[in-house]
Amino acid sequence: AGAGAGAGAGAGAGAGADALPAPGSPEAAAAEAAAAEHARGVVLAAAVAGVDVFRPRAKTTHADPDDEPLLGDCKNYCPVALKEQRVLRAGLPEQAALFNERYYYMHSAAALERFVADPARYVPGDAMPDIPPPRILFVGPASAGVHEQSKRVAERHGLAHVSLAEALAAIKGDPAHPHHTAVQQAETDGTPLHQDVLTALLERWWNGEGFRERGVVVEGFPRNESDTHAVLNTGLFPDVVVNMTVDAYVDVKRSLEGAMRRMGERKQRFADWQRRQVERKVAWQKREEARVAARAEALQRAQEDGANLPEEEEPPEPEPIEEDNPDPELPAETGVDLVDKVKEMIGEKYEVDVGNCAAAVGALELLQIAKVEVDGGRRSEATVSLIDKGLRRFLDTRRGVLESCQPLYHDRAEAMLERGERTVSKFGLWCPVEVREGRAIGPHVKPPYAVSYRRHIYFFSGGSEMSKFVNNPLEYVRQPPPPPPVPLALAVVGPPKSGKTAVATRLQEECSLTLVSFESAVASLLTLHPKSQLAAELRAVLLEGGAVDDELCVRAVKVAVEEANAQTHGFVLDGVPNCVAHRQLFQKHGVSVACVVELELPAECVLGRAQASRERKRIERAEVNFALGNPFGDADGHSRRRRDRAGAESCEADMEVARLVGNDSAPVVQEHLANWSAGVAGVRELYCREERNWHAVPADRSRWWVANAALTRVRCNAHHRQAYHACKQAGRSSAVNDVCVTPAEFAGRLGHFARYCPVSLVDRAELVEVTSGSLEHACEFRGRFYALGSAAAKQAFLDFPSRYVAGALPAALPRRLDVPDYKALFPKQLELQGYCPVSFVRGGGEYESIVLGEPAFVVEYKQRIYTMADEERLQQFMRTPDTFCGLTLPRKLPPLRDPLPVGKLPVLGYLEQTVAQAVSNALVAVGAERPKYPFLSLSASALRFIAIHLKCNNPGNKQHITDKYARMLKNFAEECQLLLYLGQHMQAAWMPPDARPLGFDTKLARFFALRDEPLPSPTWQPMLRPASGGGGSVRAPPPPPPPP
């Protein structure tokens, strides 16, 4: 009883140290009552434990962490601190207790005593302990970005953010606060803050309203080693402390600007104080001078009047100084010296801050509080990444902080399953992490990693996946089980040197598939089934020295893909099918491929890779010869080497290398490339049209990128197929894209809606016909296919298929008619006298809405023929035909259009319908340009501009003719600008060449060259004739003008 009371008093002191309530107050009475109630509970528990022999008891022990003892539900955290104070406080192996064959660590002897007295109070039984919210401390110099990063973490994870400096400033500014005096005195004297203040703040931040459920991020606490005593006294431990460090020169660089700004403000305040002092002194001197002058004047008047002299007044005391020096420590330096002084002050403050932070973090480490070191001097992105990585297990994976996972080797996991100690989880051999991340394709054959968690065994494909699961198992355990596995049927094709075998091998390793090629299938058949009929046929062909035809190879592939592993996990074909004959043979023998990956590689890349392979193999052969003593590969060397075993091995290696180099020779590679190019087009077109499972991957990038791209495409195909089969087994609707449904199969199993979208019909009463051959928005339900018009309609059908399949199509459906079909229905007449019903309904029956339809937009509905004005109105009629049926036209109708030939129009009408637009554009252009060609009149210049403009904009011209006249029009406009240019830059006096503008001489010469040279017509080219006397040519004279 005494021990229980002492323990209860200790617990009450630890939990009730909020603001030290005064004796006799209601808070003190409540605290005493709680301590007494706890003491009675401890005594009663001890009494019951002494009487009930069947009650589980706990005993103290010492646990060795190296032996990996089986820990309880609290792992290495103290259950007493977790229950009483809702904090995660690490326990000590020296203070361990054994309860229900599990070890529990306590943080102190008093906690161990309380646990042993009543273990059932701290161990919740089958339920998991309640995990408290995160409490994180941020410390470090201000230049390290403590404020920004702490606020970012709090906002990202929804935590409360508090600052010790801001909290103390608020207390200091509130004279009514009970700790106002203590905070003000500590700041004035520079002494450590009283523990009562920190205790009250921690109690409010840990257990106060708004903090208890959310958690908190505390900035700037602890400031020094003395502040950590409050953590130890209250028992309110944080989860982790983030220590942000920064180098001294970075601190000076970041703090200098702000320090100089603050120093300038201090200088300005000191200057203002000095100015006020001078003003007060000047004012006092003026008042004193006025007093002395008034005294002298009074004395003079008294002497003149013969009166008694007035008594001399004592001079008034000067007014007291307004205030003391506001900043006695202000440096007197200026300029560069001031900058150096500020840097020195920043360095001193940095040393003090770093020392205090190091001492505080060291004290927290002694209390077994986790620490995250972050270099705040790096770029912001790197700092954010380091902080998030360090806090991931305290924030992102916090739900699994008390979960216990035991990593196992695969053999030990199998042994535990055989003995019945554990059972396989709902994931089986699937990796739960890959399932969660969407990377799982199927179960693994023999996963290398396993974990024991809550009586189940979970298997993993890699160590990183296992680490993710151990850090937060609840995230992966609570997801639904994986879909049923579907065997994969893949094929990797491509030109030579595209990396087909490497990609196929990667797919084999990642998905536990069987790698099959024509060569491996034939070799496997001869080895595993030597007495089969197919093996006999193959041996007969090979013994005769003939080539094995594609028929026998495909039959061998059929046998290979029927093996156990291929039927369970799937297979991948290497290099086939690469022509139409291969696909036909696969269909004949029942070998179906669900996904074909084509590696696209340009021909120049193929030849380049072949040349690089030849060079590499020549170097390898040279290295072999050099190692065997014949660096030049001469005949004597070969004859000497053939006399011993080493020489024989070298000869065989040379022959093998020569064979490989021959396969990579330019003629062989070009022949293979030509065969590939000739055969792949047809098979690609068939797969794209029928199964729609042909996917191209660029192969001119790195091998890792190509393999990952192919693996991503295969994963997508596998997920679609798995979801399809899972929905079919569950009786739900499923999408059919990427599951190799052929157009013939889709048309044969269409539902009662045919190609009309059931969602549009049921929800909006619209007939939306899906005419595209794509199955992107198609679904299957109860063995029938349904075509959907959009992604939203597809999702609605997948959510509630029964709602939409219950409806039915109308008995009469609209049918679009082509012009021949429409003419074949003659003499059946058009409804509404050929006017468009959609335009009539849209216009509300107004006179302007009565528009004649066009013969190209005709629809037959309910044995009636309607014609629409355009395609958009026709589609509207096709969607809701009943809306536009049964209409009645008004009595007054627009006059019918009577076509009139253009040649019979009047002059103005004929010109308007023929040349008005072109001539108007030319006139507008000439009016805007207003050209004046050198040595031509304005009229002639305008006419020539219009002529070239008409030639340039003739719609019947070909592109090169249009470009030719466009250049001519541009040159004509530039030559018209010569007059304006020369008029602006020529002067009356002669200008030396160096004073002339750039390009002036060229333009002047061009201007004079146009004086005697006629403007060439667009179709006339000047002819050159030899000049008399040789040495050049002259332009031929222009042709004579035509007769009048």
- Express each pLDDT in 734-763 by its tens digit: 998 888 888 888 889 999 999 999 999 999
Instruction: Write out pLDDT tens, residues 870-914.
Output: 999 999 999 999 999 988 888 888 877 667 788 878 888 888 888
Q: Specify the pLDDT at position 1036.
A: 45
Closest by alpha carbon to 681, among 803, 577, 807?
Answer: 577
Q: Which DSSP helix (H) or strand (E) runs through 584?
A: helix 580-588
- Return the bridge partners of 780, or none: 734, 785
Closest by alpha carbon to 356, among 84, 83, 142?
Answer: 142
Beta strands in 167-272 (DSSP E): 216-219, 240-245
- Return the bridge partners of 160, or none: 216
- Return the bridge partners of 1034, or none: 1025
SS3 sequence of 794-806: HHHHHHCHHHHHC
Q: Specify the pLDDT at position 327.
A: 62
- Residue stretches of the chain with pLDDT short of 50: 1-21, 49, 51, 53-54, 321, 634-643, 657-658, 660, 1017-1036, 1044
Q: Specify the pLDDT at position 40.
A: 61
DSSP states of 276-293 as a string? Answer: HHHHHHHHHHHHHHHHHH
Q: Model pTM?
A: 0.60
Sheet (strand 858-861) strand order: 815-817, 858-861, 864-867
Query: Please, what's the b/e burial string for 921-941 (b: 16 or more CB within 10 A of its CB; e: otherwise)?
Result: ebeebbeebebbbbebeeeeb
Sequence-ordered list of residues with C-beta below 8 angstroms from that of 589, at least 6 positions apart, any chain: 554, 555, 558
Sequence-ordered list of residues with C-beta below 8 angstroms from that of 441, at least 6 positions apart, any chain: 488, 510, 511, 714, 715, 718
Q: Tell me the one-letter amino acid at 856.
A: A
For residue 65, cis peptide bond before it (omega within 30 degrees of 0): no
- Return the bridge partners of 374, or none: 244
Q: Specify the pLDDT at position 317.
A: 59
SS3 sequence of 593-616: CCEEEEEECCHHHHHHHHHHHHHH
CA distance 731 to 804: 15
Q: Determine how β-strand 370-375 pairs with β-strand 240-245.
A: parallel
* Residue 713, both tokens: 């495409």
Q: Specify the pLDDT at position 250.
A: 81
Q: Determine how β-strand 595-600 pairs with β-strand 570-574.
A: unpaired
Q: Specify the pLDDT at position 1024.
A: 41
Q: Determine how β-strand 102-106 pairs with β-strand 734-735.
A: unpaired
Instruction: Write out pLDDT tens, residues 109-125.
Output: 888 888 888 888 888 66
CA distance 560 to 519: 11
Closest by alpha carbon to 752, among 786, 782, 792?
Answer: 786
CA distance 875 to 853: 14
Q: Determine how β-strand 694-698 pairs with β-strand 570-574.
A: unpaired
Closest by alpha carbon to 246, among 255, 258, 238?
Answer: 255
Q: Specify the pLDDT at position 582.
A: 92
CA distance 598 to 697: 6
Sequence-ordered list of residues with C-beta below 8 angstroms from that of 836, at least 6 positions apart, any chain: 851, 852, 853, 867, 868, 869, 873
DSSP states of 856-875 as a string? Answer: TSEEEETTEEEE-SSHHHHH
Sequence-ordered list of residues with C-beta below 8 angstroms from that of 1012, at least 6 positions apart, any chain: none
As separate numbers, helices (DSSP H) first and strands (DSSP E) second, the chain gives 41, 25
